[in-house]
Amino acid sequence: MKKAVLITGAGSGIGAATALEFSRQGYFIYLMGRSKEKLEDVALNCRQGACLLSCDLQDSSQVNKRVREIFENPIYQLEVLVNNAGIYKTHTAETSTDEIWREHFEINMLGPERLTRLLIPYFKERKKGSIVNVSSTLGLKPTGPTGAYSALKAALINWTQNLALELGQCGIRVNCICPGIVDTPIHSFHAFSAEKKQEALGKYAGLQPLGRIGTADEIARSIYFLASEASSWTTGAILTVDGGINLT
Ligand SMILES: NC(=O)c1ccc[n+]([C@@H]2O[C@H](COP(=O)([O-])OP(=O)(O)OC[C@H]3O[C@@H](n4cnc5c(N)ncnc54)[C@H](OP(=O)(O)O)[C@@H]3O)[C@@H](O)[C@H]2O)c1
């Protein structure tokens, strides 16, 4: 059977780069995300083939339906889940709302938890599985008006370690990546004019010990490392891939 990976938020940024990295490594890719058009664009470059699973992670019935489609396909063996999808909205303690917290909880925390819960029996039956959660350096050390985002990314880190303890005996590894600042559509500067973007990037670069912000490809390679046999004795790890910013 051909090996497969399921990647959420696969239509853009880190998720799209991760899909291409796994494709280069010989995987069939299940691409999950809200926008079908974005997933279609990524699928065009997945050399080993891809299946589009468009759904909103906030809608459990859509997610259940998409996971059933994976199980119905006997040709591919799902070996890896990358919980990458996420939103990032800034707010201060005073401009915070129930809606901002609920949305961050549902997409950045309950989304990964629900999907993982659905896949655990499948991984257990095969005594094999690797899960990589995409958190953030803000989950380790908050830096600004990002209360909901930072708190839920911290929850994702804690949950990763909890799962690693529980699932190790079943042959399932669970690890976490904490990216620093990476140039993807999640940031408003991504849509700035070239000149304004350079200005913003210059400001962020100055904060990094390595002197620049990261690329989606650099995160994708680290996700692949944690998912693959190259890290076969690693579980519960929290890997910062951040140009050193977590040290500042
Ligand atoms: N870029 C950074 O600096 C940075 C730093 C640390 C951590 N991260 C984390 O990296 C992950 C990927 O973000 P990115 O930087 O690559 O940004 P991005 O390009 O905006 O990717 C986010 C992805 O999440 C998907 N998504 C959002 N809400 C969803 C929902 N309700 N249901 C299904 N999919 C949903 C989006 O799909 P649609 O476009 O189809 O809605 C999008 O493809 C996120 O978890 C983010 O928190 C990023």
Q: Evaluate: CB of 57 within 6 angstroms of ligand 1.
A: yes
Q: What are phi and psi of 4, to 5 degrees?
A: -135, 160
Strand 172-179 and strand 129-134: the pairing is parallel
pLDDT per residue rounded down to tens, the chain (248 residues): 899 999 999 999 999 999 999 999 999 999 999 999 999 999 999 999 999 999 999 999 999 999 999 999 889 999 999 999 999 999 999 999 999 999 999 999 999 999 999 999 999 999 999 999 999 999 999 988 999 999 999 999 999 999 999 999 999 999 999 999 999 999 988 788 889 888 888 888 988 999 999 999 999 999 999 999 999 999 999 999 999 999 99
Unique residue bearing structure tokens 């008006």 = 145
Q: What is the pLDDT of residue 200?
A: 87
Q: Which of 7, 31, 34, 104 to mutate to test the pocket of ligand 1 (most atoms within 8 A of CB)?
A: 34
Return all residues near 155 (Cβ < 8 A) that are at least 6 apart. Answer: 109, 139
Tokens of 174: 């669970």
Tokens of 220: 């994708």
Q: Evaluate: CB of 217 within 6 angstroms of ligand 1.
A: no
DSSP assignment letter at 214: B
Q: Which of 12, 63, 208 to mutate to test the pocket of ligand 1 (most atoms within 8 A of CB)?
A: 12
Tell me the CB-side half-sphere exposure of residue 246, using CA atoms within 13 A: 15
Per-domain residue ranges for the chain?
Answer: 2-179+214-241
Beta bridge partners of 80: 5, 130
3-class DSSP state of 36: helix
Distance 9 CA to ligand 1 centre (A): 5
In degrees, rounded to 5, the angle at the alpha carbon of residue 117 between the alpha carbons of residues 223 and 24 is 25
Instruction: List the catalytic residues.
Output: 149
In whole angstroms, how large is the CA radius of gyration of the chain?
Answer: 17
Tokens of 65: 């339906």
Report helix, strand and coil shares of the chain as percent, to nearest 5.
Answer: 50, 20, 30
Report the C-alpha gap between 233 and 236 in whole angstroms: 10
Report the C-alpha gap between 35 and 18 in whole angstroms: 17
2-179+214-241, CATH topology level: Rossmann fold (3.40.50)
Distance 107 CA to ligand 1 centre (A): 9
Q: Whose CA is nearest to atom 27 of ligand 1?
A: 86
Report the C-alpha gap between 61 and 49 in whole angstroms: 26
3-class DSSP state of 20: helix
